[in-house]
Amino acid sequence: MTTLPPLSSLHALGPAQQPAYEDKERLADVVEKLRRLPPLVFAGECDDLRLKLAEAAAGRAFILQGGDCAETFDGVTAASIGGRLRVLLSMAVVLTYAAQVPVVKIGRMAGQFAKPRSSMTETRDGLTLPAYRGDAVNGLEFTLQARQPDPDRLLRVYNASAATLNLVRAFTKGGFADLRSMHSWNNDFVRQAGVSVRYEQLTAEIDRALAFMMACGVGDQSFKTVDFYASHEALLLDYEHALTRIDSRTDTPYNVGGHLLWIGDRTRQLSGAHVALLRQLRNPIGLKVGPSADPGEVVDLVEALDPTREPGRLTIIARMGAKQVRAKLPAIIESVESSGRQVCWVCDPMHGNTFATSTGYKTRSFTDVTAEVAGFFDVHANLGTWPAGIHVELTGDDVTECVGGVGELREEDLASRYETACDPRLNRAQSLELAFMVADRLSTLERPAIGSYDVVDF
């Protein structure tokens, strides 16, 4: 049996990025309450996801992971959740059909409420307050009261995650995800050249393919529902520890607050508390690595997190930036691959490409995003390894947060709909455009013959 380190031992390691709660008693009460609440996900679902990720690690599937940078409590609405799901499912269909690979669909959703920050404080017009650390910790409003860390927010995270996951399950199993209705997902798209036209052509082709299959008598359930998984950064140790339970079937710890949890680039210290907790979990684990990571360090982390070399156990999410991906990523891939492991290599083309405009908006350029993805595919092509997925920050709304892309958004346009609580996200058109770009790259790669996919049901 694996034992779980006690919460106090994790805090004794001086973990990075934890809120400075004033009311410790209230925090302890909240943690006790959380420990008694029912699981949000089941151990068996986490195991299913691990099997699918093993397919991606072996070059037989592709991972699409995406959602908000920071979910908010106000964003727990049917429209907002449905919108994110719709864009993710649309992207997944583009990838599945255009590239003919099964897609593992994972939301940055139903738990992505806490943010690591580079700076402890934020100053506006001479006033300095604690930085916003996500709705899990404090409020975005720039007042002293809102910015105080409040332990009760952890209970709200649990409830918001439960409500989100409940709707996601209803949407994905209750008919919304039926492939036969996929043209209606985006029929409110503003008519513009490029991505919407391409999307319409693709849906028409899929309709014909489905009609053909139905006529042949293939009326499979897999057209009607999809498996969709929840993931978030495991940042707040109090919350993550309270949501970790010993599975009675296997006598091993699972975090039941999400299917896949990842360790952020700022909290991946080898002897740190986040690694100490996540290495004990049976959930599939993600590890973010940025340009400051050296290959030896990553190998040590991989050994700590995947000691039994289990395919699908570990997903390495590289976020190098468009300028550094070609220089930094190859050595990391080579070191990990030479240890004989099968990990999933995923590209996060968002976090290494953030900059501020002269008017003070934090943004990303769609050109940099696609350049990093192209660099990621090129690096894998050179090394003969499989580019197993992408990890993106997106929303279903037509926001103006990242410049460029099909609508040719300019810096001057950002003010019109800039709504993110944290990092700038791709809007729906930009997300679909990225999916087509990735599908084009994927479709040129050698894939296993049709018929070798029936082991795992996607």
Q: Is the dihedral of CA 167, 172, 174, 176 positive or negative?
A: positive
* Only segment of 143-151, 198-206, 240-248, 260-268 that touches ligand PEP (CB under 6 A): 260-268
For residue 264, the partner it binds in Co ion, ligand PEP, none, with Cβ less than 5 to 8 A by kind, is: ligand PEP
For residue 328, the partner it binds in Co ion, ligand PEP, none, with Cβ less than 5 to 8 A by kind, is: none
Q: How far is the CB of 268 from ligand PEP (least distance, A)?
A: 8
In the chain, DSSP finds a helix count (H) and a strand count (E) of 14, 14
DSSP 8-state assignment for residue 76: -
Q: Measure the CA–CA gap between 76 and 111, rounded to whole angstroms.
A: 11
Q: Measure the CA–CA gap between 428 and 375, rounded to whole angstroms.
A: 23
Q: How many residues bind ligand PEP (CB under 6 A)?
A: 10
Report yes or no: 294 and 326 within 8 Å, Cβ to Cβ. no
* Only segment of 22-30, 170-178, 205-213, 259-267 that touches ligand PEP (CB under 6 A): 259-267
| Binding of ligand PEP by 265 (CB under 6 A) | yes
Cα 138 off chain centre by: 22
Which C-beta is closer to ligand PEP: that of 253 or that of 349? 349
β-partners of residue 233 are: 262
Q: Measure the CA–CA gap between 280 and 404, rounded to whole angstroms.
A: 42
| Choice from 69, 106, 388, 414 touching ligand PEP (CB under 6 A) | 69
User: Which residues, 6+ apart, have CB-to-CB distance to 300 below 8 Å?
Assistant: 270
Which C-beta is closer to Co ion: that of 368 or that of 423? 423
Which C-beta is closer to ligand PEP: that of 264 or that of 396? 264
Q: Measure the CA–CA gap between 21 and 140, rounded to whole angstroms.
A: 17
How many CA atoms lie within 13 Å of 207's alpha carbon, on the beta-carbon side? 10
| Choice from 264, 311, 389, 407 touching ligand PEP (CB under 6 A) | 264
Residues 199-258 that bind ligand PEP (CB under 6 A): 233
For residue 391, the surrounding DSSP H or E stretch is strand 389-393
Q: Which amino acid is at 2?
A: T
| Choice from 69, 285, 317, 437 touching Co ion (CB under 5 A) | 69
Q: Residue length, the chain?
A: 458
* Only segment of 48-56, 245-253, 286-294, 421-429 that touches Co ion (CB under 5 A): 421-429
* Only segment of 43-51, 78-86, 264-272, 378-386 that touches ligand PEP (CB under 6 A): 264-272
User: Which residues, 6+ apart, have CB-to-CB distance to 45 below 8 Å?
Assistant: 229, 259
Question: What's the first-to-final CA gap in the chain, in angstroms?
Answer: 31
| Binding of ligand PEP by 434 (CB under 6 A) | no
| Binding of ligand PEP by 319 (CB under 6 A) | yes
Q: How far is the CB of 402 from Co ion (least distance, A)?
A: 12
Which C-beta is closer to ligand PEP: that of 172 or that of 420? 420
Q: Measure the CA–CA gap between 222 and 449, rounded to whole angstroms.
A: 20
* Only segment of 21-29, 68-76, 264-272, 375-383 that touches Co ion (CB under 5 A): 68-76
Q: How far is the CB of 70 from Co ion (least distance, A)?
A: 7
Residues 351-390 that bind ligand PEP (CB under 6 A): 351
Q: Measure the CA–CA gap between 427 and 140, rounded to whole angstroms.
A: 22
| Choice from 47, 55, 306, 423 touching Co ion (CB under 5 A) | 423
Residues interacting with ligand PEP, by CB under 6 A? 69, 116, 233, 264-266, 288, 290, 319, 351
Residues interacting with Co ion, by CB under 5 A? 69, 423
